[in-house]
Amino acid sequence: MWRMKTGSGLVLGLSLAFLTVGAAAQEKPSPLDDLTRSAEQWMRDNLDERVVKALDNVDQERARSLLNELAKRLQADNVYDLSALKESATSLLPVLRQFKETRPYASWLETHLDYFDAAGELRRIMQPTPPQRGAPPVPPPTPEAQRKVWDQQMNKRPMPPRAQTYVPRLKPIFTSQGAPAALVWLGEVESSFDPEARSPVGAAGLFQLMPTTARSLGLALSPQDERLNPDKSGRAASKYLRYLYSRFGDWRLALAAYNAGETRVGTLLSRYKTRRYDAIANRLPAETQLYVPKIDATLRKREGLSLASLALPKG
């Protein structure tokens, strides 16, 4: 399926990993008309430099075609289209795991495979019978459908092995920054608690912080990337989450902003004259539409709490 130029075994995985184009957009909030840009311009503006360089050794036409298609699906608001990505994503994992340099990307991708399963299940719920010619489009998933599907996904998901190490260690850090201790489970949703996890758009660490966001929160990227330090990245992520909550006054909106960019969320709230997550949810990127209810389901599974019930630490 995927062709490489001679001697480029390592970069095969990177070229395929473009399905993460919608990930961790904290400091790259895209205007709502981003999809009009070409795939090449998108690459220049958004992709991690290492991924861009890797393209020099990959079938360029194939990679550009893939990128354009995946960018449209992940940045568009149709959740159901993501289900078609499962086969490509699943076949990518063994390739990424082969090389030390690409294992951080494999860790990120493996954590996100259930997005594709969830998209397919949501379609089946919202369209229980085969579509008929001329039938109206499948309606967006309801909050009830999202909850049902993500609870099912979480029931199949074992506890990440590293959670036993990082959850008790990070909870006091989150509390010290004014964020609910339970939000440490964001580390499961973002990276399965792998400190080395990395997305091809440049996010890294347990909490998948983007470079500019990390710097704004006091983390250094050189000579050592402090995003890969669990304690420092936890402190930065919890500080940022507390800021987003203070801005939006709602944890679902705050987490949507963490994933899709606070400017994008703010723009949608202003456009539709609302302060409610449900009023804009179906207009967020497809990835974000799945990300927020996945966090909610994770908290129910791991802590017996919901996002709606989270309270700020006292004191």
- Say if CB 99 and CB 9 are below 8 A apart: yes
Nearest to 298 by CA among 206, 220, 189: 189
* 182-214 core/surface letters (b: 16 or more CB in 10 A; e: else): bbbbbbbbbbbbbbebbbbbbbbbbbbbbbebb
Q: How far apart are CA 165 and CA 183, in angstroms?
A: 15
- The first and second tokens of residue 92, run together, are 């990518």
Active site residue 61: no
Active-site hit among 110, 121, 188, 190:
190
**Could you tell me the maximum CA-CA distance found in the chain, to the nearest angstrom?**
60
- Say if CB 301 and CB 155 are below 8 A apart: yes
Peptide bond into 223 cis (omega under 30): yes
Active-site positions read 190
